[in-house]
Structure 1
Amino acid sequence: MTLDPKQILADVFGFSAFRGRQEEVISHVLAGGSGLLVMPTGGGKSLCYQVPALCRDGVAVVVSPLIALMQDQVTSLRQLGVRAAAINSAMEFADLVAAENALRAGELDLVYVAPERLLTDRFLALLDDIKVALFAIDEAHCVSQWGHDFRPEYRQLELLATRYPAIPRLALTATADEPTRQDIVERLGLSPDDVFIAGFDRPNIRYLIAPKEQARKQVLSFIQNGHAGEAGIVYCLSRQAVEETSAWLNEQGIMSLPYHAGLDRAIRAGNQDRFLKEDAIVMVATIAFGMGIDKPDVRFVVHMDLPKSLEAYYQETGRAGRDGLPAEVFLVYGAKDMAKIRQFTENSGAPEAQKRIERQKLDALLGFCETASCRRQVLLSYFGEDEHEPCGNCDTCLNPPDVFDGTVAAQKLMSCVYRTGQMFGAGHVIDVLLGGNTERIRKFGHDMVSTYGIGEEYTRREWQSFVRQLVAQNLLTVDITGHGGLHLGAEAGPVLKGARQVMLRKDHAVAKPAKEKRKRAAIGVAETDQGLFEALRACRVALAREQGVPPYVIFHDSTLAAMAADRPRDQYGFALLPGVGGAKLERYAEPFLAVISGHSS
């Protein structure tokens, strides 16, 4: 028997209507269809398999790549009164046996497993003996070698199409460009006609990018001036940088924890648990941290180094503002960052065809960083969405840079690189262009080259920007195996000969983030409701500690904001709040109504 999905949405999840393409996808699955769903983080992907799981007979089997993600989803579902369990290697043997027995007995609505476990003979035999409602393959970009987080074990999930052809299979991801989507469809045996793309735009996120000057101080200013006391993630490229940056932020009064694969497993797990359960922690991490982090109130994400692609950037920045409330993402980078990413690609040992794809991805990333137009337009265009107007919510919209014919400047810069022997870094080359009187210039006789002092019409900071832009355009390259020496790029010749025009961006001085306290204003809490909102948050924290769960699995900030605004007086009014289903109504109406009553009296 198939239940009504709208009734399930209201009774269990506490929402009155589906959003976007949710209803279309759910109807497709309920009719027995399979497909690929590409939906932005925070868009409600999970409901697209959780609602059908509660409507169809049997258990939904959810393939998930990370234990942390499984546990978070299971905790949230149990809060809703849904019979859910995970089966993974981190469980005690007795708990594992109990979960498998519950699965055999038909006592579960959803079970979460890693692909490695699902594909074992033991687990497949178990599935053969039970009623399976559907398969959901989460983080489906892991299937594709063109995706940013390819995992070979995911490729073996093609077995599901042949072994269980009559059972719906829904692959889900927030991040997949056209080649990645095609690869997922082919590898999982899906129909190209059943690809649901719900859009990539995250309008609540503000995109900010700045030249890397003093990265730590830039990040500190960003946090202190706009996000003090809020949860966030700071990404670094190396483990050493993670630990040093986290320690430095703590010295500056920012509560920070490190996370990388080299940390002791217990420390890593403990830091992640604190990040999920406490309100104002900044996690400094490598990209080992993030996938499966369902914390909705992350208000900012910072990159202190370039990510490896626009897909990776989109995925990592997408961890901000999952609750749909305003968030900011901030990236600082320099020419050496570009060179490091290029070197990773060239030294990867991958087949040439894959290297070619990776080079194209890097070029797209650098184009995004160096664009003078709306960043959101560039980002969304990369994912195939070209119809968007300028967003008004990124740095290039808020403070547009000037674009000019920079051919002469490019020629001067490249000529100076050539005249000084293609062995010196940007700092020395710029010294020569500016007619400097340094010991190095005198030592190598560079005060005698024809390019000495020909660049005095631009400041040092402007020349630094031009270096980055020429590196992004493959007109210059950076040798990071030595001392960061600049070399002429493969496409430099036509520019030096005057056969190709170069457009450059002339940056404004870096504007300091507005010193505004937006923590409560951002989530729409009126000034008159601030006190009640804080009291409700305190109640939520107390309940979460009693149960040993993250506060957000009880209620999101948006639900608390609605409570503070509507001030329901009874269970009927409480039931009308967004995110309040039957189980949460029964469990939490009394304590929260008491807070509202006490604050109103």
Structure 2
Amino acid sequence: MAINKLEVLEKYFGYKSFRRGQEKIIDEILNGRDVLAIMPTGGGKSLCYQVPALILDGITIVISPLISLMKDQVDTLNLMGINSAFLNSSLSTYEFNEVINGIVNNKYKIIYVAPERLHSNEFITVITQAKISQLAIDEAHCVSQWGHDFRVSYKGISTFIDKLIERPIITSFTATASEEVRRDIINLLKLNDPKIFITGFDRENLRINIVKGVDKRKFVLNYIKNNLRDSGIIYAATRREVDSIYELLKKNNINVGRYHAGLSNDERIKYQEQFINDETSVIVATNAFGMGIDKPNIRYVLHYNMPKNIEGYYQEIGRAGRDGEESECIMLFSPADVITQKYLIEVSTEDPIRKTNQYKKLQQMTGLVYINNCYRKYILEYFGDSYEGECGNCSNCLSKGEVKDRTIDAQKVISCVYKMKKSFGVGMIVDVLRGSKNKKLLNLGFDELSTYGIMKNYSSDGLKEFTNILIAHGYLDVNEEFGTVALNNISFKVIKDEVKVLLKEVNIESNKVEFNDLFEKLRLLRQEIAQEEKKAPYMIFGDGTLREMSIKYPTTKVEILEISGVGEIKYERYGEKFISIIKEYIIENNIKKEIVIENVSQETEENLEREDDYFEINTNEELLERLINIRQGFANKLNLPVSMVLSKNTLKEISGRYPNNLEMLKDIAGIGPKKIEAYGDKIVEEVDKYIIEKSINPIWKEKKRKKLIIDGETRSVSEIALDRMNMGEEIEAISEDMEISISTILGYVTDYIKSTGDYSISVDIDRYFDKDNEKMILDAINKNEIDKIQAIKKSLPDYIKYEAIRAVILKNFILKN
């Protein structure tokens, strides 16, 4: 009997019904149709491809640029009993091969893949032999150069699809996409007559507040002190501001983390994990933080500065309230924010078209700040989503201020723009209206205009804000790049009294959700389980699930399975523990329920001890040295680099595990059948000889699929190399010691910058290529795809090395950004 989509939803995900738009999208996918779905951040995009993945016959590949999201999604899916894996730059060679073997053996139902990994020869070889039911592309806007987060690697997706023997259903998902970006997604991903869904961008549970003219540091400190129990993100435009806010909160004994590209990789990982695991409640960050953070119980997002575009702003506030609970989004604005963003645009690109586009988006963002009507309506209409009336859940709608007729003041400003004839910025217009003695103003003869000084009773900041409000409401136009103000059709209607300018004062209000004591007890239990299982708390149960438990007091399996977010799988793992706390709370507080609580023993049989996920060994340095000498002998005989014989990590593992026969050697990473045939006898002979010499009695244990930890080192090869670079070591020394090529290390640097946006790693790349050959390499890159290093190398003379190609890519395409 075929499995039903609602059965899948309830059994694995613990939900009784779909959110708005999900079911229709899932139905189209199950009917075999390509799909483009634009859904708000936190709107449940992942469920739209995960549910079909479990019903369709075959593997679902999910392409995502977000390394941290991949790990979280895969951990969550595996926790629910859905076999899943990911392939990205964070995996070691051994881990990569483990996943590849799993694909060969049909182990997985869902595989997350970074776009850069799509063209790996090993991956292509096995995936073209597998049955692929669905190819889901997350963050699909990244394929378009007009998207706010364009990624070159996304250009290779259609090429990957062409390589597949049988074309699967292609599904694409994004939270923010203009019409132009939507067209790019369809064309560049070669979607076949896709069904397009725009489920609506509205996140009704988010309260949007924009606060102007306040002491930002004081506001932040007071707000955090009043919301210490809640998880929240504070975004700032620059690293310096992040550090300043972090120090302010830390000085006031607030447990806070921070995240920006100037910190070491270890620091960023530490702060991110502490935040995800609810060990710190607040993190201060640049916009580099948050992509791929699937933490559902973020109760507020506070922007210390205005972001550069509405797409980025809406994506960032979308990280609040992903569990559907009421959450708050506050932006603190000052005019200096516009200057900061203009500077960032100037240094970010030299492409005049992209620069003009970014200035246009900045002006639209500024328009949101100054709009006097519903903020939600403005945002949704920006995305092409119609919205009737007002939301009643933003600071403009909630303002108690009265609506005032500002038509006369608006006419004064518009008349001044008209009489100045040429286009000038807001600053010059304000100077004329206030009667400034500005030298440039006097030289232009603007002191002779009838509008000179007619609004001298306004403060400079107040009049600038009023003029910007007129621009935001469309009473005036502005050239986005140059910031010059111009008249439009509505301007003339205001002058002729055909249109009234009605504006309202704005005050901020707060609306906090209160939780009872039982919620706190359940949250503590969740924290204990999360620490024990080394998982993020939200992977156990979300805040919304705990809140529902704290209200409904479920004390039986039937009752707790009625709670949203509790499915059969999670009940089996955690249900009785939470029921036990709820029963205890009911008795202690004399709470009466209609259903009788059965006094059953809380003692249950302990589950069989779970096998450890890790296999730890320590290197025997003396035996390692002997094995290195043996390897050198083979390398000399075969005229090969030593690393091509056996890697140093393979030798370390042998030295720490003492395999003294060929069967045992099969359980060692990095030495397959051919290498065992070539080198195995000599190696086990040396190991056996050492055991006898030293009178060692080793106990052999099978490692099987466990992750190998050598000498307590849990970092991947790429992490170790990058950390050593951060410590100031030369690439050549790292290359020699770790037995990896300079080209590989430069590849690690490239992948790291592309995935994190962190440009702090210092590398002198000019020394790896001849300046005379740079143009030749660039021509080869342009003729091929930037990620196809082998193809680029083949099109160049033999004397040009891989490291030269990597260095030119870094200089011209990565570090240039």
Q: Name the counterpart of 1:338.
A: 338
User: In structure 2, the residue corresponding to 1:386 is in which secondary structure?
Assistant: coil
Distance 1:33 1:258 in 2: 43
Q: Distance in 2 between matches of 1:190 and 1:64?
A: 17
For the pair 1:573 / 2:574, whether they are aligned, the reply is no
Separation in 2 of the partners of 1:476 and 1:58? 53
Shift of 1:586: 0.6
Aligned counterpart, 1:276: 276
Among all aligned residue pairs of Structure 1 and Structure 2, give the percentage whose two residues are the same amino acid.
36
User: What is the TM-score when the length of structure 1 is the normalising length?
Assistant: 0.86
1:36 aligned onto 2:36: yes
Pick closer, same or farther for the CA change 1:544–1:348 going to 2, 3 Å. Answer: closer
Q: What is the CA–CA distance in structure 1 between the aligned matches of 2:211 and 2:504, rounded to whole Å? A: 10
Q: Name the structure 1 match of 2:664.
A: none
Specify the alignment match of 2:182 in structure 1. 181
SS at match of 2:507: coil
Q: Does 1:544 align with 2:530?
A: yes
Aligned equivalents of 2:317, 2:288: Cα separation in 1: 14
Instruction: Give the aligned partner of residue 196 of structure 2.
Output: 195
Alpha-carbon spacing, 1:290–1:144, altered in 2? closer, same or farther (3 Å): same
Structure 1 equivalent of residue 392 of structure 2: 392
Q: CA deviation at 1:236?
A: 1.1
In structure 2, the CA distance between the partners of 1:173 and 1:488, relative to structure 1 (3 Å rule), is: closer
Residues of 2 paired with 1:354 and 1:276: CA distance? 35
Q: What is the rounded CA distance, in whole Å, between the counterparts of 2:381 and 2:431 in structure 1?
A: 38
Alpha-carbon offset, residue 534 of structure 1 = 1.3
Partner residue in 2 for 1:592: 578
**Distance between the aligned counterparts of 1:335 and 1:476, measured in 2?**
16
Are the equivalent residues in 2 in contact too, given 1:335–1:468 (CA < 8 A)? no
Kindly tell me: are residues 445 and 270 of structure 1, through their superposed partners in 2, closer, same or farther at Cα, counting changes over 3 Å?
A: same
Deviations 1:145-201 (A, max 9, x none): 111111111121112442335311111111112111111111101145411111111
The answer (yes or no) to whether the contact 1:234–1:284 under 8 Å persists in 2 is yes
Does the CA contact (< 8 Å) of 2:414 and 2:495 recur in 1?
A: no
Quote how far apart the aligned CAs of 1:416 are: 13
Q: Post-superposition shift, 1:329? A: 0.8
Q: Quote the Cα distance in structure 2 between the aligned partners of 1:160 and 1:505.
A: 55
Provide, for residues 460-502 of structure 1, a one-character-per-residue CA deviation record: whole Å limited to 9, x for no partner: 653242254467677789999xxxxxx864659x989x97999
Separation in 2 of the partners of 1:197 and 1:2? Answer: 29
In the alignment, the residues of structure 2 paired with residue 152 and residue 124 of structure 1 have an alpha-carbon distance, to the nearest angstrom, of 20
**TM-score w.r.t. structure 2 length?**
0.64
Q: 1:511 aligns with which of 507, 514, 519?
A: 507
* SS of 1:135 mapped into structure 2: strand
Q: 1:564 aligns with which of 547, 550, 569?
A: 550
Per the alignment, residue 143 of structure 2 pairs with 143
What does 1:222-233 correspond to in 2, within 5 Å?
A: 222-225=223-226, 227-233=227-233
The correspondence of residues 408-427 of structure 1 with structure 2, limited to 5 A, is 408-410=411-413
Cα deviation 1:521-541 (Å, max 9, x = unaligned) = xxxx5xxxx122211111111
Question: Match of 1:121, as an amino acid?
Answer: N
User: CA, structure 1 residues 322+431, in 2 after alignment: closer, same or farther (shift >3 Å)?
Assistant: same
Matched, 1:168 2:164: no
Which entry has the higher C-alpha Rg, 1 or 2? 2
Q: Of 555, 569, 592, which residue of structure 2 is paired with 1:583?
A: 569
What SS class does the counterpart of residue 406 from structure 2 fall into?
strand
Check 1:478–1:364 CA distance in 2 against 1; reply closer, same or farther (3 A cut): closer
**1:106 shift after superposition:** 0.6
Which residue of structure 1 lines up, in the alignment, with residue 303 of structure 2?
Answer: 303
Structure 2 vs 1, CA of residues 161 and 92 (structure 1 numbering), >3 Å: closer, same or farther?
A: closer
Contact 2:178/2:383 (CA < 8 Å) preserved in 1?
yes
TM-fit CA distance, 1:112: 1.2
Distance (whole Å) between structure 1 residues aligned to residue 480 and residue 22 of structure 2: 46
Give the 3 Å change call, closer, same or farther, for CA 425–376 of structure 1 in structure 2. closer
Q: Does 1:7 pair with 2:11?
A: no
Please state how far the C-alpha of 1:117 moved relative to its aligned partner: 0.6
Which AA in structure 2 matches 1:199? G
Q: 1:337 to 1:146 in 2, by over 3 A?
A: same
The DSSP-based 3-state class of the residue aligned with 2:158 is helix
Match of 2:45, SS?
A: coil
CA distance in 1, matches of 2:242, 2:479: 27
- CA distance in 2 between counterparts of 1:578 and 1:277 reads 22
Q: Which residue of 1 aligns with 2:294?
A: 294
CA distance, structure 2, for counterparts of residue 423 and residue 133 of structure 1: 56
Offset at residue 285 of structure 1 (A)? 0.9
CA change 1:301–1:402 in 2 (3 A) is farther
* Residues 402, 311 of structure 1: alpha-carbon distance in 2 compared, 3 angstrom cutoff: farther
Per-residue CA distance 1:9-53 (angstroms, 9 max, x = gap): 121111222222222221222222221111112221111111111
**Deviation string, structure 1 residues 195-254 (Cα, Å, up to 9, x no partner):** 1111111011111112254222233344445x3321111111111111111111222343
Query: Which amino acid counterpart does residue 594 of structure 1 have in structure 2?
Result: S
Structure 1 residues without counterparts, runs of 5 or longer: 481-486
Deviates more, 1:64-73 or 1:331-340: 331-340
Work out the number of aligned pairs and report it.
Answer: 576
Is the 8 Å Cα contact of residues 5 and 55 (structure 2) preserved in structure 1? yes
C-alpha distance in 1 between matches for 2:212 and 2:184: 35
- Corresponding residue for residue 483 of structure 1: none
**8 Å CA contact 1:207, 1:328 repeated in 2:** yes
Deviates most, 542-551 or 498-507:
498-507
8 Å CA contact 2:415–2:495 kept in 1: the answer is no
* CA displacement at 1:387 relative to structure 2: 3.9
Q: Which has the higher contact order (CA 8 A, sep 6+)?
A: 1
Matched to 2:455, the amino acid is G
| Residues 339 and 477 in structure 1, CA contact (< 8 A), matched pair in contact too | no
- Looking at structure 2, the residues matched to 368 and 290 of structure 1 have their Cα atoms a distance apart, in angstroms, of 22
Displacement after TM superposition at 1:600 (Å):
1.7
The structure 2 residue matched to 1:407, chosen from 379, 401, 410, is 410
What is residue 262 of structure 1 aligned with on the other side?
Answer: 262
Cα 1:84–1:267 shift into 2, 3 Å: same
C-alpha distance in structure 2 between counterparts of 1:117 and 1:441, whole Å:
59
